Structure 1
Amino acid sequence: MAGKRTILITLLALALLAGIGVGGYHWHKAWQEEQFLTVPPETPGNDVIFRVEPGQIFTTIARNLKDRGVITDARRFLKLARRTGRDASIRAGEFLLSTGWVPEKVLSELTTSAGIMKKVSVREGLTWWQTAREIDEAGLGSYAAFAQAVTDPELLDRYGIEAGDAEGYLFPETYLLTPPRGDRSRYMAETMIKEFIKNATKVWPEGLPGFKELHRAVILASLIEKETGDVTERARISGVFHNRLRKRMLIQCDPTIIYGLGPEFDGNIRKNHLLDKANPYNTYVHRGLPPGPICSPGLDALMAAVHPEKHAFLYFVAMGDGSHHFSKTLAEHNEAVAKYQLRRNRKTYRSTKQ
């Protein structure tokens, strides 16, 4: 009887120990989970630039995070993401993370933030080569690669640009992009062309016209963009160009000459430039619009080109405050030139409205 009692006690003791062991195991696992979720890998933490490649699977991302010291357990990080329904929400890009963050903050940054972005602001009225310099300076590509992209026949054909380059179709905008691995010049050129098409639908909401009509509007808009110092005058300046074209008058637009002289223009228009018939963009000797756009115009200039102000003005001259004096006759225009140009104060003269 005593032997049976001993056996029973032993079994009970073993069962108790087993229970304690199982309980201890579960407690230890729970403690590890709590530590993972609430204790960052380092205190204080260090910044880590972390990149997620497009199409990269979550298990690889988690493993890379652990290798970089941002998390302590890749498997638990995957479980956290699955439990909260975010395992398919990681964004491709470059992120600034910290080894002093808990996993929830890391996961939130990877699934909700745009990450580190490079910004390039391309203002209205830039030529393609000026835009190329902006891309180069922003670290998004090189001047040479951008020049190659904007003249690439395959890219131009893809978007129906029946010209030798994309001048006029590189829409001015502030662009935010993930820092590139390699040269992003072609991507930038294509992105800007797509942005042009998107904005052009606001000018032609019923559908873009054929390329000949579209190109004519873009050329005219580029002239308006370069001549406008006061944004309220765009439609009026457009009206002047429309009137002169209708009367078969020379456009006589200085910025067209400058464009034809190319990137090496030194800033001074000389008499021989005005008389140069070899410059196809010289609207002082060649009638009609120049052969192509002279910059990339913004949306307002495009709108003005298509919807000019109706009036009888044929001339305009800068008054030195960013605005223009508009005239209906050559005599009136000559008086305005003498007043605002020949007798101008060079110290206070400015070409744009302030």
Structure 2
Amino acid sequence: MARLRYFLIAVFLLAVLAGLVAGGYAWYKTWQEEQFLATAPETPGREVLFRVEPGQLFTTIAANLKNEGLITNTHFFARLAVRRGKGSSARAGVFRLSTGWVPERILEELTSSAGVMHRVSVREGLTWWQTARVLEEAGMGDADGFAEAVADPKLLAAYGITARDAEGYLFPETYLLTPPKENPARLMAEVMLKEFFRNARKVWPGGLPDFEEMQRTVILASLIEKETGDTSERARISGVFHNRLRRGMLIQCDPTIIYGLGPDFDGNLRKSDLTNRENPYNTYVHRGLPPGPICSPGLDSLLAAVHPEQHAYLYFVARGDGSHHFSRTLEEHNQAVRKFQLDRNRKTYRSTKD
């Protein structure tokens, strides 16, 4: 009987001890987690550029954070994310984090911020090779990679472009995006093509035309873009081109010749360039539109190409203040050329409005 009593006492004491150990362990883990939440891994902290790939599991993200020294415990970090309802909210991108931040701030940055974004401004009227240089300078890939992308048959086919390259369809815009780890130049080409077709629906709200009609519009819009220094004149200049094409007249557009001379054009348009029949973009000798766009036009030029101003003008010449003088007859045009070009004040002459 005494043995049984001792046995029961021993069992009781072991149970109490086990309870104390379990309670102590639970308290210790709670204390550990509280310390984890309240303490940054390093003081002072250091900046870390941290990348989250699309579709990456949260457990992988937490493990990568620990490897970078941004958190000290993956389990506690996952528990924090679950409690905050953000276990599946991490965004893909590149984030500028710090080892001096507490876990709550790390989680907030990964789930609420846009991350490190590159701002790339591509203005209207650039050729694809000028755009390539802009992107390279902005850190969005190299120019050679962009050149390869804009002429990639697979990429062009994906957007229904049956031309030799994407000239004209690289939509001018200010883009905010995170450069991918690999081939950012191709990403930019795709993003700009998507933006073109998004805007094209504003030009053709009833539905996009077939590529032949779209290409003709983009070519004409590119001429309007390059010839317009005063944005209010786009529809009027479009009307001039429409009138000349309707009458079978030569377009006689200097920017088309310049485009045909390519990236090495030195800025000096010579008389021999105006008579060169070898240049397929020479609209002084070849009738109709040039074989392709000469730049990427903006939305306003695309709209002007589709909706030209109705008038009888056949000529225009730059006034030297960014605007143009429009003429109905060759005689009137020649007088305007003498006034605004031959007798111009070279010190005050400018091609665009302030």
* Match in the other structure for 2:159: 159
Tell me the TM-score normalized by structure 1: 0.93
Identity %: 71
1:325 aligns with 2:325: yes
The within-5 A match list for 1:1-354 is: 20-354=20-354
Counterpart CA distance in 2 for 1:250 and 1:179 is 44
Displacement of 1:259 in angstroms is 0.5
Mapped to 1, the partners of 2:342 and 2:111 lie a distance apart of 62
Q: Per-residue displacement from partner, 1:170-203 (whole Å, max 9, x unpaired)?
A: 1111223323323222222222112111110110
C-alpha deviation, 1:139, in angstroms: 2.5
* Unmatched tracts of structure 1, length 5 or more: none
Give the superposition deviation at 1:54.
2.2
User: How many residues get paired?
Assistant: 354
Closer/same/farther in 2, CA of residues 189 and 9 from structure 1, 3 Å limit? closer
Query: How far apart are residue 30 of structure 1 and its match?
Result: 2.1
- 1:28 Cα deviation after fit: 2.4
CA distance in 1, matches of 2:15, 2:251: 101
Matched residue of 1:325: which SS? Answer: strand
Residue identity in the other structure for 1:276: N
Compute the displacement of 1:232 (Å). 0.9
Distance 1:189 1:179 in 2: 12
* Cα separation, partners in 2 of 1:17 and 1:244, compared to 1, 3 Å: same
Name the TM-score, length of structure 2 as normaliser: 0.93
Structure 2: which 5+ runs fail to align?
A: none
Shift of residue 291 of structure 1? Answer: 1.0
Kindly tell me: are residues 216 and 72 of structure 1, through their superposed partners in 2, closer, same or farther at Cα, counting changes over 3 Å? Answer: same
Local SS of the residue matching 1:96: strand
CA shift for structure 1 position 31? 1.8
Shift of 1:8: 10
In 2 relative to 1, CA 128–8 (structure 1 residues): closer, same or farther, beyond 3 Å? Answer: closer
The one-letter code matched in structure 2 to 1:80 is: L
Shift of 1:22: 4.3
Report the Cα offset of residue 141 of structure 1. 2.0
1:79 is displaced (CA, Å) by: 0.9
Distance 1:7 1:273 in 2: 111
* Larger CA deviation: 172-181 vs 314-323: 172-181
CA RMSD of aligned residues (A): 2.3
Cα distance, 1:4 vs structure 2? 12
Q: CA deviation at 1:6?
A: 10
Please give the alpha-carbon distance, in whole angstroms, between the structure 2 residues aligned to 1:87 and 1:66. 17
Could you say if the C-alpha distance between residues 278 and 14 of structure 1 is closer, same or farther in structure 2, counting changes exceeding 3 Å?
closer
**CA-to-aligned-CA distance 1:130-189 (integer Å, 9 cap, x gap):** 112122222222222222222222222221112111111111112233233232222222
Distance 1:216 1:5 in 2: 102
- In the TM superposition, residue 341 of structure 1 has moved relative to its aligned partner by 0.9
Q: Distance in 2 between matches of 1:87 and 1:81?
A: 5
Counterpart Cα distance in 2 of 1:352 and 1:248: 29
Deviation at 1:300, TM superposition (A): 0.6
CA distance in structure 2 between the aligned counterparts of 1:71 and 1:343, rounded to whole angstroms: 72
In 1: Cα distance, 2:191 partner to 2:210 partner:
21
- Output the CA distance in 1 between the equivalents of 2:83 and 2:259: 60
Q: Which amino acid aligns with 1:84?
A: R
The 1-side partners of 2:107 and 2:69 are apart by: 14
- Aligned partner of 1:187: which letter? L
Distance of aligned partners of 1:4 and 1:153 in 2 relative to their CA distance in 1, 3 Å threshold = closer
Partner AA of 1:213 in structure 2? E
Distance across 1 between alignment mates of 2:119 and 2:340 = 40
Residue type at the aligned position of 2:41: P
